[in-house]
Structure 1
């Protein structure tokens, strides 16, 4: 007799098997693709202590600390040094301020482009421009209208590795002044350059935000006998060096009562970009841009409110995460939840999506697969019965009929040993009736054949 059970676990396992395998594959891929948790520590290369870059980095440090991120700020010589540290895989620097033109300067082509340098820096991305970095040139003596008039004088162009020095060398070269000539180019920066200019040790000083503080420049501007250079050829510089922008200081910008400056002053300025390694975690990218908005978004003499940060592509491509942020802002989770909770929820959702996408349709398919699995065993037996019945209709001889009956006995034996779910008991008993029907037909055919054979024998006798 067949054994009836509430459910066939074997058939259920076979039905579930493919779905579980697909689900396991989906979960595996999700785990491989899911972003790891953002690190709790970042390292930023800034500038010399007291410079604008250094001071800005200290503000970033306080802002990131609100979200539990520790920002280690490294002192550097400036933009060029920051770029070199970002390129060095052993430096452990994650992000840094880099002013425009540094890629070409690092490649040894001041003021120009270098495809080789661009290829070398494919692993670096920009999170956006964060500020202008005006080049302030202070000098002694009679008023000047062109930088070429500084030829043969003593010039402080900042230290090796600074963006100030790289930019100064580029614009001086465009004016026919290069290292090794009769012009003395001195590695003085910040307060040291300001003191040397004040006491007459040098004739001019080139200063920018990566090597000097705004108070230092303001002090020089107010020192008698020292002039603030007006770039009368600013438009020409901007055409020659694409990373430069022309800025203007209107009359009275520094002091309305004293009308300082007494006339409009034109400046040239690259933009400072927040450059990061390509593998920076998306959540940290958002936090850094948020910090940049808070630090650099206010209006000042050189920029209007909310002008920075901005996704201005120069020598480095804007990262995909930064582009997404500038278009749509932070994600919903990061807008509504604390940073670390949002980070955890974000990764959990990424893991759950493939499970839900695969398992929910899979669970809906399981009942159908289970029914097909149970019925397929019944249908297989029906196929064997039909084959026996067809052979029986071909008027087989005695030996063939006996063979068919043996095959039918074998089928009936297998059916009686089946483990069948109770829900399919009706189909099971119908199958047994059909087996009996085929057996009855074979028996009738066999009896008729015997009667015919007996009549034939009797007639012969």
Structure 2
């Protein structure tokens, strides 16, 4: 019974590579923890920018589609592929952004089309250009939209931003679908031809239909006039997404002074709208592309007026706000995009890794010391048990078993490799093993003398 009990106390022999094992088991948990934190930070907090993004643009040959094509060329310089999708216009673009099943990252959206839609999940990278509403009508003397009541008005095709804005403006002037006014779903060149032919009495033109050439052509037709929005200031107060634009005398034709006097127009802006998960680095690239495409002066804008951080229907993103205030970061200004992205993410990782490593490095020595000393101190439990039982009326056979147990302990110590810094504890343990052996030997001699 006693022999069986002490055989269970035999210690597992220490492997000669005990020091290496101590180092491994001390540093391995810390290394694994650091790697896990780095992976989580990379995947969740600062992922790499995607190589491909998708923009919903506009109908074929529209300014929206042409603009997206220019963005695509500019982003390609930095190794980013921009997929351009054709659409029916701003309303479909907005619905694609709001639909989680649509793989669209950003879109060109005209102001004023988001009424009634939940757009809080979207953000704006800024306004990029004007799309003025220009109203031509047959006759003269019309200064208010309400004077068009009862006539035939071309307001744009279904799904277009022109139609949405036209209906909003007409409703504000007491003209709604289903009344005496006939609302015709045509726009652009087709609507202009209907006006010239007398098939409609007024047309709402916007965007691609408001070029200098188109407006001059219509103004040269006898009996067709351009509506002067003398109440433009009121419209901009009632509809914050609208701006007031003036056409000064002669801006369309200096030689013939067309228009002969200042014409007041109202215009929404087109915003570059994105989902909230757009990568910050791509946000910078897109705004930079917009500056290159829209920064030049034009008939309706000054040089550098666009892109603008003034967002109308959507909140301006934090990344866009930062870019408009301070521009691109030092890394992205001085390094190629792909290299700047790698360096930026690496620097981003240094903060959490440093925060984790500093306390971990202070903990490592304590863990290592505990592990080395535990390999030494675990023998003391056996020594104490042997000493107590050996001196507590043990038999000669039991003391022989105790001596064998001490031999096992010494053999384990002889095989154990201990760092020099802990040699004192190691030799103290050997002295204590000898002390217990001496006491057992003395007890054996006393019994032999009796």
Give me the whole-angstrom Cα distance separating, in 1, the residues matched to 2:15 and 2:392.
39
Q: Of 229, 236, 242, which aligns to 1:231? A: 229
Q: Of 37, 46, 55, which aligns to 1:44? A: 55
Partner of 2:66: 55
Partner of 1:161: 159
TM, length-normalised to structure 1: 0.80
Q: CA deviation at 1:328?
A: 3.8
Q: CA deviation at 1:273?
A: 0.8
Check if 1:9 corresponds to 2:20. Answer: yes
What pairs with 1:108-147 in structure 2 (closer than 5 Å)? 114=116, 117-118=117-118, 121-147=119-145
Q: CA deviation at 1:294?
A: 1.4
Q: Is the 8 Å Cα contact of residues 190 and 213 (structure 1) preserved in structure 2? A: no
| Structure 1 gap ranges (5+) | 105-113, 455-461
- Output the aligned Cα RMSD: 3.7
Give me the whole-angstrom Cα distance separating, in 2, the residues matched to 1:241 and 1:304.
23
Question: 1:411 and 1:85, CA in 2 relative to 1: closer, same or farther beyond 3 A?
Answer: same
Check if 1:416 corresponds to 2:427. Answer: no
Give me the whole-angstrom Cα distance separating, in 2, the residues matched to 1:99 and 1:197.
25
Give me the whole-angstrom Cα distance separating, in 2, the residues matched to 1:134 and 1:378.
86
What pairs with 1:28-39 in structure 2 (closer than 5 Å)? 28-33=39-44, 37-39=48-50
Q: CA deviation at 1:221?
A: 3.8
Give me the whole-angstrom Cα distance separating, in 2, the residues matched to 1:272 and 1:205.
21
Q: CA deviation at 1:356?
A: 6.3
Give the SS at the match of 1:270.
Answer: strand
- How many residues align? The count is 435
Question: 1:288 and 1:219, CA in 2 relative to 1: closer, same or farther beyond 3 A?
Answer: farther
Q: CA deviation at 1:248?
A: 2.8
TM, length-normalised to structure 2: 0.81
Q: CA deviation at 1:137?
A: 0.9
Q: Is the 8 Å Cα contact of residues 64 and 71 (structure 1) preserved in structure 2? A: yes
Q: CA deviation at 1:358?
A: 4.7
Question: 1:312 and 1:412, CA in 2 relative to 1: closer, same or farther beyond 3 A?
Answer: farther
Q: Of 324, 327, 340, which aligns to 1:326? A: 324
| Structure 2 gap ranges (5+) | 1-12
Question: 1:86 and 1:399, CA in 2 relative to 1: closer, same or farther beyond 3 A?
Answer: closer
Give me the whole-angstrom Cα distance separating, in 2, the residues matched to 1:55 and 1:63.
13
> Structure 1, residues 46-70: CA drift from partner, whole Å, max 9, x if none?
3334443333233223322322334
Q: CA deviation at 1:198?
A: 2.7
Partner of 1:73: 84
Give me the whole-angstrom Cα distance separating, in 2, the residues matched to 1:14 and 1:158.
73
Q: CA deviation at 1:80?
A: 1.7
Partner of 2:188: 190
Q: Is the 8 Å Cα contact of residues 251 and 259 (structure 1) preserved in structure 2? A: yes
Q: Of 301, 310, 313, which aligns to 1:312? A: 310
Check if 1:99 corresponds to 2:110. Answer: yes
Q: CA deviation at 1:149?
A: 0.8
Give me the whole-angstrom Cα distance separating, in 1, the residues matched to 2:54 and 2:219.
35
Give the SS at the match of 1:421.
Answer: coil
Q: CA deviation at 1:172?
A: 0.7
Question: 1:426 and 1:5, CA in 2 relative to 1: closer, same or farther beyond 3 A?
Answer: farther
Q: Of 251, 256, 267, which aligns to 2:265? A: 267
Q: Is the 8 Å Cα contact of residues 110 and 271 (structure 2) preserved in structure 1? A: yes
Give me the whole-angstrom Cα distance separating, in 2, the residues matched to 1:8 and 1:185.
89
Give me the whole-angstrom Cα distance separating, in 1, the residues matched to 2:52 and 2:130.
28
Give me the whole-angstrom Cα distance separating, in 1, the residues matched to 2:33 and 2:409.
34
> Structure 1, residues 311-344: CA drift from partner, whole Å, max 9, x if none?
3343323334333433443343322222233334
Check if 1:178 corresponds to 2:173. Answer: no
